[in-house]
Structures are given as structure tokens and as C-alpha cells.
Structure 1
Amino acid sequence: DAQNNWLNENPDVRSDLSDAKLREADLRGTNLSKADLSGAKLREADLSGAKLHSANLREANLRSISLSPAYTA
């Protein structure tokens, strides 16, 4: 999807996805390093292989997400 491609092609941009409604989103392999996901609704999202280094997940809804294998380093 275009948004995932853009995020992967612009790794130096800090994405503001705070309070985003991303329930059941397919974010596999997406570069979310340094992204602000605070308060995001990520329930049942697929974050397999996503890059989450320094991402802000404070108060994000992470119920039933798929993280394997996600990269945090």
C-alpha cells in the first residue's frame, strides 16, 4: 500500500500517527521507527516484521496484535 511504501522510503521522517485508528491494519514490514503511535488503536493489527525502534506506543491499544518477528533494535 502507498502509505507503507512512503514510510519505508522516508525513514528519517518521524510519523505522527498518534490516536490513529489502525484496527486490523496490515503494517507488515513497515518502518515505524521513531513514529508517534501514542493512543493509536492498533487492535488486531499485523505488525509482523515492522521496525519499531524508538516508536512511542504509550497508551496505544495493542490487544491481539501480531508482532512476530518485529524489529525493535
Structure 2
Amino acid sequence: MADHNFDAAGMAREQQGRMAASAVIGLNALKPMMQFQVSLLRLWADNMESLAHNYEKGLDSFSSAVEHRWQEKRAA
């Protein structure tokens, strides 16, 4: 019994160490899932950018076709 030390500060440090270790384990387990989520978000953003570019290109060609037809009717 003499070798057991019941000081509160030592027990608190041990408990904090265990809590920190379990937090590190949890964050290490979470890291691959977060990386996957980030890669999916980047893929989605790239697709949205591509969609916006195609939409602008289609809108430009449509408006130029309408303008060309309007000029043909005006000239006739």
C-alpha cells in the first residue's frame, strides 16, 4: 500500500493522457474518410465548373445564332 500514490494531479494527468490517446486514435481513423469526402467535393466542384463552362458556350452559340437569324430577317 505504501507504493500507491493517490495524488489527484497524477491521476488527472493519467486520465488526460488516456483521453488524448483515444482522441488521436479517433482522428487517425477519421482522416481517410475526410480525405475521401474532400476528393468527392473536389470532383463535384470540377464537374460544376465544367457544366458552367459548357452552359456558357452553348448560350453564346445560341445567342449568336439568334442574332444571325435576326439580321437575316432584317436584311430581307
TM-score by length of 1: 0.15
More helix by share: 2
TM-score by length of 2: 0.15
